Amino acid sequence: MIKDRLKELDIKISELAEYFNVTRPTIYKYISTFDEGKTEGIPQKIRDLFDYINNYPLIDKHNVISFIFKSFTNKNDNCEDQNIELINDFLRQNINSEKGQFIIKIVSSNSYDLIIHYATQISEIIDKEKISKKDLKLLKPYKEIEKMYSIIGGKLK
């Protein structure tokens, strides 16, 4: 149900009403209608949002707000949707793998946000041919992990 999913994503009805320039009762009416399986009378952009929320279990509030703003700009950039589908496909095929379990952990917890931020930063410089002194400094923790990994025979425990 959309109302439950919105609550799970920490998205307030008043926020949606403001984004779509409608009243809160109107949003409630659209939610009720959509949950009944009816889509007539619901504006296409709101229907698309509800479909997006229903079809992508790994999204968060940021993804939803990005989706809303993209729908206002009418961009055809569906890179984010493709990435979510790629993750969903991976999880369907590898749910019990170490990587699959980690993806689930990072999506369901804020505990790894610092590590994710660091990994995102270094991912852009790891494969560079020329690395600056600043980049080397940033890569130091990563290089330590690589060293530890090789010491234990390439198997993390």
pTM for this prediction: 0.47
Comparing 77 with 73, which gets the higher pLDDT?
73
Comparing 96 with 79, which gets the higher pLDDT?
96
Nearest to 47 by CA among 57, 59, 56, 37: 37
> Could you give the residue ranges of the DSSP H alpha helices within the chain?
2-8, 13-20, 24-35, 44-55, 61-73, 79-94, 98-108, 113-123, 133-151
The per-residue pLDDT for 76 is 45
Terminal Cα distance for the chain, rounded: 40
For the stretch 14-35, pLDDT in tens is 989 888 889 999 999 999 999 9
The per-residue pLDDT for 157 is 46
Domain ranges of the chain: 2-75, 78-109, 110-157
SS3 9: coil
The per-residue pLDDT for 79 is 62
Comparing 108 with 77, which gets the higher pLDDT?
108
The mean of the pLDDT values for the chain is 84
The per-residue pLDDT for 30 is 95
Amino acid at 117: H
Is the pLDDT at 156 greater than 60? The verdict is no
